[in-house]
Amino acid sequence: MKSRFMESVRTELRTRHYAYQTEKTYLYWIRQYILFNDTRHPETMGASEIERFLNHLAVNRSVSKATQNIALCAIIFVYRHVLHIEIKDLAYSLARKPRRLPTVLTPQEVSAILAQMEGQYWLITALLYGCGFRINEVLRLRLKDICMVRKSILVFGGKGDKDRYTLLPTNLLARIEQQMERAKAIHENDVLEGYGFTSMPPSLLKKYQGTLRQTPWQYLFPSAMRSINPYDQSVCRHHLHSSAYARQLRTAVSISSVCKRVTAHTFRHSFATRLLETGSDIRTVQELLGHSDLRTTEIYTHVLGNQRAGTISPLDTIPLV
C-alpha cells in the first residue's frame, strides 16, 4: 500500500529521526490497521475502530503484549503527529510488561557454544559476551571505533542514542585485527569497482558525506552484498544483518550441550552477571552496559542466586538420608 498518506507518515517518522527499523514496524502496523478496517482513511475512524483492531490482534492473531503495545504506539503516532487528532476515551492503554529474570549462561556454556562457531560469527559471539554489547551495537561497529592501544571500543549511538566506551578483551586482539583486514579488503575491492560507500544514518549523511568512502568508516562486519540505501537510494555496503547471525547462533546452540533458550542478548546478560560474580562494582557494570538507571542493572543481582550475600539454602545445612 503505497499512497500519499503512507508517504506522509514516512516523512513524519524521518523528520523525527526514528530508527529505520522502527519506521518499517510502524508502517507495517498502520497498514494492518487500515486494511482491517476495509481500507478506510484513519481520519474517518477513531477509538472504536482502534479497539476493534487491538481486540482482533489479541484474540484472532494471539499477539503478545509487547506486539500489541507496538501496534498501539504506531496508530497513536499517526493520529497525534500526522493527523493532529487526539484519541479520547480509548479503552486500551499500554500493557505492563511482566518483570522476567534474564537467562544467564555459565562460562562453560559460553565456551560450548563458541566451540560450534567459526569466523566472524565466532568473533561476534565473543564480543557480545566479552564486551556486553547489544547485537546491533556490535554489528554497527566501524573500524574507527576500535582502539587497540587503549584496549577499548566506542559504542557510537547506542540505545537512547548514547555513546559509551566498553572493554576490549586482550585475547581477541589478534582475531579483531584479522577481521579488520578482511573488512579493508572488501572495501578496497568495492572502490576498485567504483563503489566503496558505507551506509550512514540520515542525520549523519550530509555531515559526513565526504568520508563515506574512507576506510575508518567501514563496518567491522560488512554484509556479503552491496545494497541500496533506503534514505538516498545510493549503492552502499551495509553491515551484516542480525538475522544471519541469529541463524548461526541457533545452529550452534542446538549442536552444543546447552539446554537453555539462547539469543544474542543472552550474552549481554551473562556478561553483566559474570562481572558482578567476580567482584566488579555495580556502578562500573552500569557504565559498561550503558544503563541510565541503576535499577535496570540491579536486576542482575537477583540472578546471582546463592552467591548473593553468601546466602545458603536451609536444605544444605542438614544431612540427607
146-147 and 152-155: which strand pairing?
A: antiparallel
From the candidates 159, 164, 182, 213, give the one annotated as an active-site residue.
159
* Residue with grid cell 552444543, as numbered in its chain: 256
How far apart are alpha carbons 167 and 151 in whole angstroms? Answer: 7
How far apart are alpha carbons 199 and 49 in whole angstroms? Answer: 39
How far apart are alpha carbons 101 and 236 in whole angstroms? Answer: 40
| 265 labelled catalytic | yes
How far apart are alpha carbons 49 and 75 in whole angstroms? Answer: 11
| 97 labelled catalytic | no
From the candidates 164, 184, 226, 265, give the one annotated as an active-site residue.
265
Measure the CA angle with vertex 232, ends 228 and 238; round to 5°.
Answer: 40
From the candidates 142, 268, 269, 274, give the one annotated as an active-site residue.
268
Is 304 within 8 Å of 273 (Cβ atoms)? yes
How far apart are alpha carbons 130 and 122 in whole angstroms? Answer: 12
| 134 labelled catalytic | yes
How far apart are alpha carbons 168 and 174 in whole angstroms? Answer: 12
Buried b (16+ CB within 10 A) or exposed e, 6-34: beebbebbeeeebeeebbebbbebbbbbb
From the candidates 10, 134, 142, 187, give the one annotated as an active-site residue.
134
Burial class (CB in 10 A: 0-12, 13-18, 19+), 266: buried
164-167 and 152-155: which strand pairing?
A: antiparallel
How far apart are alpha carbons 141 and 268 in whole angstroms? Answer: 16
From the candidates 140, 142, 238, 291, give the one annotated as an active-site residue.
291
How far apart are alpha carbons 34 and 27 in whole angstroms? Answer: 11
Strands of the sheet containing 152-155, edge to edge, are 146-147, 152-155, 164-167
Residues with a catalytic annotation lie at 134, 159, 265, 268, 291, 300
